[in-house]
Amino acid sequence: MALILGIETSCDETAAAVYDDAAGAVRHALASRPASHRPYGGVVPELASRDHAGLLMGLLDELGLARPPDLVACAAGPGLAGCLAAGLGLAQALAYAWRVPLAPVNHLEGHLLSPFLEPPAGFGPPYLAVLASGGHSLLVHVRGRGDYEVLGSSLDDAAGEAFDKTGQLLGLDFPGGAALEKLAATGDPAEAPLAPALRGRPDCMLSFAGLKTAARRLLAAGAKPADVAASFQAAVIETLATKAARALELAGCAWLAVVGGVARNQSLRERFDALGAERGVSVCYPPARWCTDNAAMIAYAGRHRAQQGHAARIRPRWSLAEL
C-alpha cells in the first residue's frame, strides 16, 4: 500500500493529508476557525460540524492528488458526533467513488503513533506515551502498534481543557492554552502557589479541575493574573511529570513520548527533558504541526488498520480498550 488519504474532523480542526509509505507525510492541509467559537468560550459542535462540511473539499483540492489513493483513513472517534459524521461521510463517499478500502481510525491511536511521522533515531516500541490534549489526558504503555495499556487517565478535565478554561478566567481569548503560556512567562509562580494535583496518590491517575478552581480563588483574592498563569501552568506540568514518572516505573520503557496539543508547551518540554535525564530515558515530541489534531497521524494509523475490519461508523466514545 503506497498512498493513503487521511481525514480528521473529530473536534474543531478540519484536516486532510496524504501519507506515502516511502516518503512519509508528503502533503497536509489544515483549517481552523476559532473565531466561530470565541464568543461562546468553547467549541460549539453544531458550528464545528458546519465548518467541516464547508472546508473539507477545499483542503482536498489543496492536496493536489494526482491519482486516487490506495486507502482512505478517517478519524471515526472519539470526538464530537456531528464533527465525526462530517468527515466520515465524505471519506465513505470518496472510498466508494475511488473503489478503495476505508479504514476508520481511533483519534487517540493517531496521537499515540504521531511520533512515527518524524521519528528520532532509535525510537520505537515499547514506549510510554503521555497524551495531553484538549479532550484527553492519558498515560499509555505502547507495547506495539495496536497494543496499548492505559496506565492512567484524568478523573475530570483534560489538561488542554483546563488550560483553555483557566485562560477564560484570566480574560484570555479562546482557545487559551497558547495565550496562557505567553502570560505565564511574565509571572512568578511563587507569588500565587498551587500544588500539583493528586500528588499523594500512588497511582497514575490525573486531575486538573481542582487546579482551575484554585486559580479562580487566587484571582478572587487579588493575585496578579500573570502570577496565577505561571503557577497554574507549573502545577499542570508537574502533575503530568509526577504521574509520568510513576508510569515509567510500571512500564519500564526506555522511551517517553509526549504527544497531543499540550506537548507544544515549551515549559512542559523542559520539565519532561529533565525527567528523562533523571530517569535515564530518551524523550521525544512530535514537531508542533503533528501535536495538534492533524490528518497525517490519521493516515499513518490507518496504514496499520486497513485489515482490522472496524465498522465504518462514528464512535464518539471509542476507547483504546476497544481496539
Is 28 labeled as ligand-binding? no
Please, what is the average pLDDT of the chain?
95
Return the CATH number of 3-112+290-322, one of 3.20.20.70, 3.30.420.40, 3.40.50.300, 3.30.70.20.
Answer: 3.30.420.40
Residue 213 has pLDDT above 60, yes or no: yes
Is 131 labeled as ligand-binding? yes
3-state SS string over the chain? CCEEEEEECCCCEEEEEEEECCCEEEEEEEEECHHHHHHHCCCCHHHHHHHHHHHHHHHHHHHCCCCCCCEEEEEEECCCHHHHHHHHHHHHHHHHHHCCCEEEEEHHHHHHHHHHHCCCCCCCCCEEEEEECCCCEEEEEEEECCEEEEEEEECCCCHHHHHHHHHHHCCCCCCCHHHHHHHHCCCCHHHCCCCCCCCCCCCCCECCHHHHHHHHHHHHCCCCHHHHHHHHHHHHHHHHHHHHHHHHHHHCCCEEEEECHHHHCHHHHHHHHHHHHHHCCEEECCCHHHHCCCHHHHHHHHHCCCCCCCCCCCCCCCCHHHC
Could you tell me the three cell numbers for 227?
502570577
5-55: pLDDT as tens digits = 999 999 999 999 999 988 887 899 999 887 788 888 889 989 999 999 999
Is 215 labeled as ligand-binding? no
55-72: pLDDT as tens digits = 999 999 999 999 999 999
Q: Which of the four pLDDT bands, split at 50, 70 and 90, describes residue 309?
A: low
Is 227 labeled as ligand-binding? no
Q: CATH topology of 3-112+290-322 equal to that of 123-285?
A: yes
Is 294 labeled as ligand-binding? no
Residue 1 has pLDDT above 70, yes or no: no
Is 135 labeled as ligand-binding? yes
- pTM, to two decimals: 0.96
123-285 placed in CATH 3.30.300.30: no
**Mean pLDDT of the 271-289 span:** 98
Beta bridge partners, 149, equal 141
Residue 139 has pLDDT above 70, yes or no: yes
Is 52 labeled as ligand-binding? no
Is 177 labeled as ligand-binding? yes
Q: Where are the domains of the chain?
A: 3-112+290-322, 123-285
